[in-house]
């Protein structure tokens, strides 16, 4: 049985939802003249692409049915992205049977190949890159990095984090924990 949610976790979730909604509104307002506003991401299709692995495999969300999925977009030149790696790795290691973390690199294949080989020895994340940008489109990823989306088991969005900050990482952990509890038969 899962422990009851405490007041702090509920407040964190409320803050995350409020911040995420405000951020989505900002992104809609940032549309270029003549272009449609970016829709607010509320759900990702079950067959949503998750990039391409180093060995050429192209995982889809449906490959991870029953799991909470975290998708983080990053680049090697993004210092904040590099600082986020240990936190994402800890999330993956904490609940590998119920959670899948994807680290989607937005750079060229050659750069990704070098990075993936080095990082594979250090992290347990599933690392992919996005040559066709299909994953970026599926997750409505803006140009800002890091950009992280947490999905419930039903592929609705539990939360979105853009940028870096210790408090936002604490909130990310809270949102992942809430998503892990939500939809479980013993959840109240």
Residue-wise pLDDT for 91-102, tens only, equals 999 999 999 999
Read off φ and ψ for residue 144, nearest 5 degrees: -70, 140
Q: Which pLDDT belongs to residue 172?
A: 85
Read off φ and ψ for residue 9, nearest 5 degrees: -65, -40
Task: Extract the tokens encoding 183.
Answer: 């939809």
pLDDT higher than threshold 60 for residue 27: no
What is the residue-wise DSSP string for 130-163? -TT-HHHHHTT--SSSSEEEEE-TTSBEEEEEES
Q: Which residues touch 168 (CB under 8 Å, ≥6 apart)?
A: 161
Mean of the per-residue pLDDT values for the chain? Answer: 80
**72 membership: H or E segment, kind and range:** strand 68-74
Nearest to 121 by CA among 85, 146, 96, 94: 85
Q: Which pLDDT belongs to residue 19?
A: 39
**DSSP β-bridge partners for residue 52:** 129
Nearest to 91 by CA among 120, 57, 68: 68
Domains of the chain by start residue, with CATH: 7-181 (3.40.30.10)
Q: Which pLDDT belongs to residue 139?
A: 95
Asked if 73 and 42 count as a contact pair (C-beta separation under 8 A), the reply is: no
């Amino acid at each position: 049985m899962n422990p009851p949610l405490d007041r702090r976790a509920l407040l964190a979730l409320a803050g995350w939802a409020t911040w995420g909604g405000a951020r989505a509104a900002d992104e809609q307002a940032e549309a270029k003249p003549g272009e449609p506003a970016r829709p607010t991401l509320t759900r990702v299709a079950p067959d949503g692409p998750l990039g391409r692995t180093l060995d050429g495999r192209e995982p889809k969300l449906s490959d991870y049915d029953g799991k909470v999925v975290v998708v983080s977009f990053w680049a090697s030149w993004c210092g904040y992205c590099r600082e986020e790696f240990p936190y994402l790795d800890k999330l993956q290691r904490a609940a590998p049977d119920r959670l899948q973390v994807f680290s989607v690199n937005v750079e060229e294949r050659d750069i990704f190949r070098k990075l993936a080989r080095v990082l594979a020895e250090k992290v347990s994340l599933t690392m992919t890159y996005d040559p066709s940008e299909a994953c970026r489109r599926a997750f409505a990823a803006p140009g800002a990095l890091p950009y992280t989306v947490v999905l419930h088991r039903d592929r609705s969005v539990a939360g979105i984090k853009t940028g870096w900050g210790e408090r936002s990482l604490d909130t990310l952990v809270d949102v992942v924990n809430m998503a892990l509890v939500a939809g479980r038969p013993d959840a109240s």
